[in-house]
Amino acid sequence: MAEEIEDFHGVYMLYCLNETCKGKTYIGYTKDPNRRLKQHNMGVKSGGAKKTSLRGPWEMVLIIHGFPNEISALRFEWAWQNPKTSRRLKHVTPKARTEKVYDYNIRVLSEMLHVGPWNRLALSVRWLNSMYRRDFSDDKFPPMHMPICQGPVSCKKTVSTSDTSLLDTGKTLLCVLCARNCSRFELVCCLDPNCQAVTHIRCLAQRFLGSSDHIIPIDGECPACGIRVLWGDLIRRKNGCFTNLI
């Protein structure tokens, strides 16, 4: 059964199964991986890309998801497609003559997950087909807060009733850290449905960062209930709530 994920933003890699061009790959962005794969295999007239049209069938073998928004995912997509041009990937050695494109793309990906800003996002590396799985080297294994998953995934766009009631504009919301009013555009809510804590984004970021000189936190504990949460999950939930409430 496919795992359902709310407000899905993913960057995927396709693998060509056509004997005439088998081994070719394609990297793209999607909000709905299952629908996007069908478009690629049906051709450009059905919404697929020109580079994949009439060259299928294609299989989606890997997808990186958990981006907080579309812009963040599109920037990741562009850098993965253009590692020679991206200023963040200048340290990546060029593709070797004997190196397969597929393996080169995996190598580039492993480097991307270790450079900013992506190394601080709550991303998941998901292999959709174990046949194409590659092991990351020990020195380029994804950061500990990025799980490696396996199996199908589907998008789900819903907001829990607790989120909706908590962000009701008729309520006065106070930041649990500074005790000042929070507008619904500057607050984040705890991910625990039984916790009603809200904070300013900046207040919670400073709390999570502590003495670190980074700008974006990785994770931290809710100041009210104490559960440990990933910063990326908080921002994703915030964006999902606003999308459905505005």
pLDDT tens, position by position, 21-68: 888 999 999 999 999 999 998 877 778 788 888 787 999 999 999 998
pLDDT tens, position by position, 119-172: 988 899 999 988 999 988 888 899 988 999 999 998 876 554 444 455 554 567
Contacts 24+ apart (CB under 8 A), 10-13: 10/63, 10/64, 10/65, 10/67, 10/73, 10/153, 11/63, 11/64, 11/65, 11/67, 11/73, 11/76, 11/77, 11/80, 12/36, 12/60, 12/62, 12/63, 12/64, 13/60, 13/61, 13/62, 13/63, 13/105
How confident is the model at residue 33, as a pLDDT? 93
Closest CA relative to residue 22, chosen from 63, 70, 67, 58: 58
If one compares 232 and 161, the residue with the highest pLDDT of the two is: 232
CA atoms within 13 Å, Cβ hemisphere of 22: 4
How confident is the model at residue 157, as a pLDDT? 66
**CA pair distance 123, 133, nearest whole angstrom:** 18
If one compares 206 and 45, the residue with the highest pLDDT of the two is: 206
How confident is the model at residue 168, as a pLDDT? 53
Query: Domain 161-245 class?
Result: alpha beta
Q: What's the token pair of residue 5?
A: 């994920």
Please give the share of the chain, as a percent, with pLDDT higher than 90: 43
How confident is the model at residue 104, as a pLDDT? 95
Q: Mean pLDDT score of the chain, rounded to an integer?
A: 85
What does the DSSP assignment read for the chain? -PEEEES--EEEEEEE--GGGTT-EEEEEES-HHHHHHHHHH-GGGT--TTTTTS--EEEEEEEE--SSHHHHHHHHHHHH-TTT-GGGTTSPPPPTTS-HHHHHHHHHHHHTTSTTGGGS--EEEES-GGG--PPPGGGPPPTTS-EEES-EEEE----HHHHHHT-TTS--B-TTT--B--TTSEEE-SSTT---EEEHHHHHHHHHTT---SS--EEE-TTT--EEEHHHHHHHHHHHHHHH-
How confident is the model at residue 58, as a pLDDT? 93
How confident is the model at residue 154, as a pLDDT? 87
How confident is the model at residue 231, as a pLDDT? 84
| 190 pLDDT more than 80 | yes
| 15 pLDDT more than 80 | yes
Q: Tell me the mean pLDDT in the region 211-238.
A: 83
| 219 pLDDT more than 90 | no
Neighbours of 7 (CB within 10 A): 22
**228 — pLDDT class (breaks 50, 70, 90):** confident
How confident is the model at residue 161, as a pLDDT? 42
Domain with CATH 3.30.40.10 in the chain: 161-245
**92 — pLDDT class (breaks 50, 70, 90):** very high
Q: Are 222 and 165 in contact (CB under 8 A)?
A: no
Q: pTM for the whole thing?
A: 0.75
How confident is the model at residue 116, as a pLDDT? 86
